[in-house]
């Protein structure tokens, strides 16, 4: 068996095309606006911010960038967020994580108005996800995973999803999203993590396996049920043996072996990654519609 390659880039492009048309037809004041705040000089964060800025421009979202050094200070950041919360042209606020040492990420996230929390990290939005309230923002990476799974599998009712990883960014929210009683979910969900003596005991039961542990090559072919759909969220930079002195992105799944067992699999890069920014754009458009009373 050779698995279908789930082309996250193509699916993301299709969704962005729909969003661009929707933005052109909106009746509210101005255009959807996204404020992106970058503190410090983390190279990966700087790349992500540039990608988000370009994605906004491509579909017609106004992007407002606020970039400061690591010494900007937590109080100043909280004041900035307070101003952005009150700014009518800003529909969504994203503070790029991780923050430099000395900043309280929890305090910063909670300072963002829930109705502008397009990253979906505010406790109020997280709580709404748990109770199945759709009037909230879903975290972008889990949201992207859910869209990919739905596109490939179709009817998710009763499918057994095993998620490897319990982070607040992916594992926990995705589990809560996929157990809801809806056409986008209704799954049986197992979450396993480093405390499991044998992770393979759980992963081999999965109809849909999501690897989100941040451990390159963790999932091997012997850990996957034949015919399973495999979603690889891992994006760890490791040494590139083909080009000494450089690094490459590696997923949590041993792609070469698992692709011979699975029915469908996401590559790294080109799988979940493009979907994350796309769902950020989708959340920003949703925020704009909410703020302008557009159904």
96 included as an active-site residue: yes
Mean pLDDT of 189-198: 95
Q: How far apart are the first and last CA of the chain?
A: 45
pLDDT(158) > 70: yes
Query: H helices of the chain, where?
Result: 8-24, 43-59, 74-86, 105-111, 123-131, 140-153, 171-178, 199-203, 255-258, 272-291
pLDDT(266) > 70: yes
Tokens for 211, please give them. 């690897």
Number of Cβ within a 10 Å radius of residue 222? 12
Residues of the chain with CATH 3.40.50.10860: 29-113
Would you place residue 1 in the very low, low, confident or very high pLDDT band (cuts 50, 70, 90)? low
Q: What are residue 36's DSSP bridge partners?
A: 65, 94
Average per-residue pLDDT for the chain: 95
Which pLDDT score, from 0 to 100, does residue 247 have? 85
Model pLDDT for residues 44-80, shown as the tens digit of each residue: 888 889 999 999 999 999 999 999 999 999 999 999 9
Q: Which fold, 140-273?
A: Rossmann fold (3.40.50)
Distance from C-alpha of 98 to C-alpha of 40, rounded to nearest angstrom: 9
Would you place residue 110 in the very low, low, confident or very high pLDDT band (cuts 50, 70, 90)? very high
Distance from C-alpha of 78 to C-alpha of 105, rounded to nearest angstrom: 11
Distance from C-alpha of 168 to C-alpha of 214, rounded to nearest angstrom: 13
Q: CA angle 165-166-170, nearest 5°?
A: 85
For the whole model, what pTM was predicted? 0.95
DSSP assigned state of 266: -
Distance from C-alpha of 241 to C-alpha of 196, rounded to nearest angstrom: 31
Q: What are residue 94's DSSP bridge partners?
A: 36
Would you place residue 245 in the very low, low, confident or very high pLDDT band (cuts 50, 70, 90)? confident
pLDDT(210) > 90: yes
pLDDT(39) > 90: yes
Which pLDDT score, from 0 to 100, does residue 246 have? 86
Q: Which fold, 29-113?
A: Rossmann fold (3.40.50)
Which among 14, 71, 87, 119 is annotated as catalytic? 119
Q: List, in order, residues 6 or more apart from 19 with CB less than 8 Å away.
A: 59, 278, 281, 282, 285
Model pLDDT for residues 211-238, shown as the tens digit of each residue: 999 999 999 999 999 999 999 999 988 8
Which among 52, 159, 172, 286 is annotated as catalytic? 52
Distance from C-alpha of 137 to C-alpha of 134, rounded to nearest angstrom: 8
Rounded to the nearest 10 degrees, the angle between the axes of helix 140-153 and helix 171-178 is 40
pLDDT(204) > 90: yes
87 included as an active-site residue: no
Distance from C-alpha of 91 to C-alpha of 35, rounded to nearest angstrom: 8
DSSP assigned state of 65: E
Residues of the chain with CATH 3.40.50.720: 140-273
In the chain, pLDDT over 70 holds for what percent of residues? Answer: 100
Higher confidence at residue 157 or residue 1?
Answer: 157
CB contact at 8 A, 229 and 180: no
**Can you say whether the dihedral through the CA atoms of 144, 149, 155, 158 is positive or negative?**
negative
CB contact at 8 A, 264 and 2: no
107 included as an active-site residue: no
């Amino acid at each position: 068996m050779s698995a279908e390659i789930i082309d996250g880039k193509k699916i993301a492009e299709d969704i962005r095309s729909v969003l661009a048309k929707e933005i052109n037809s909106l009746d509210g004041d101005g255009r959807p606006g996204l404020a992106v705040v970058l503190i410090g000089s983390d190279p990966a964060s700087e790349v992500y911010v540039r990608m988000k800025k370009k994605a906004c421009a491509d579909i017609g979202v106004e992007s407002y960038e606020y970039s400061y050094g690591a010494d900007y200070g937590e109080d100043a950041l909280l004041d900035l967020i307070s101003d952005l919360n009150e700014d009518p042209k800003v529909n969504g606020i994203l503070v790029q994580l991780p923050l430099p040492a000395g900043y309280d990420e929890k305090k910063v996230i909670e300072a963002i108005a829930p109705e502008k929390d397009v990253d979906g990290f505010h406790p109020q939005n997280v709580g709404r996800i748990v109770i199945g309230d759709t009037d909230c923002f879903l975290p972008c990476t889990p949201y992207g995973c859910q869209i990919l799974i739905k596109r490939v599998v179709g009817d998710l009712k009763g499918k057994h999803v095993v998620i490897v990883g319990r982070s607040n960014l992916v594992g926990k929210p995705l589990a809560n999203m996929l157990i809801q009683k809806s056409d986008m979910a209704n799954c049986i969900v197992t979450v396993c993590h480093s405390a499991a003596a044998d992770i393979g005991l759980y992963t081999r039961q999965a109809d849909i396996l999501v690897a989100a542990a941040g451990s390159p090559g963790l999932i091997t072919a012997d850990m996957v049920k034949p015919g399973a759909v495999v979603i690889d969220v891992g994006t760890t930079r490791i040494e590139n043996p083909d080009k000494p002195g450089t690094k490459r992105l590696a997923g949590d799944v041993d792609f070469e072996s698992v692709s011979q067992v699975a029915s469908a699999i996401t590559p790294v890069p080109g799988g979940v990654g493009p979907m994350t920014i796309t769902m950020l754009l989708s959340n920003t458009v949703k925020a704009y519609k909410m703020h302008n009373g557009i159904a």
